Amino acid sequence: MEDILASIKKVIAEEKELRAAAPLPPTGSDDADDDVLELDDPVVVREPVAPPLDLGPPLASEQAVDSSRQRLAELQEVAATAPPLPPVVNPFETMIRDMIRPMLKDWLDANLPEIVDDHVRREIGRITGTPL
């Protein structure tokens, strides 16, 4: 639940940033020496300048966004402070599992060694090229 709320908040914040950000002026000069990297020069990472995106009008009004943000924050608070729910237990499933467990154990005890032995024999035969 918290991940979903954080994701929603992130999307809203990114949209606000995109709308508020103005395109950066291109950096660089005509000097040819700028293309040479000297070992004692500090490394400057420049991000490429992308053309501004035309996002059009906002999808939701500020009032709707603020109201939604408040309600989601309220939900996040309740989710963070509420005790975890007990696991859902299906009594029928529990009863069937308890009944099948001894039968499955008996079947595995009787058949598993033979099944494994058969598969190991076939695999050894496949690897060595000789049927066993």
Ranges of each domain in the chain: 1-21+47-85, 86-132
Residue 40: the pLDDT is 63
Eight-state DSSP code of residue 32: G
Query: 118 or 36: which carries more pLDDT confidence?
Result: 118
Q: What is the pLDDT of residues 19-31, one digit of tens each?
A: 776 555 555 555 5
Q: What is the pLDDT of residues 88-123, one digit of tens each?
A: 889 999 999 999 999 999 999 999 999 999 999 999
37 confidence band (pLDDT: 50, 70, 90): low
pLDDT at 63 over 90: yes
Q: Evaluate whether 73 touches 12 at the Cβ level (below 8 Å).
A: no
The two structure tokens encoding residue 54: 């035309």
Residue 96: the pLDDT is 95
Distance CA 84, CA 86 (A): 6
Q: Which amino acid is at 103?
A: M
Return the number of other C-beta atoms located less than 10 Å from residue 69's C-beta.
14
pLDDT more than 90, % of the chain: 39
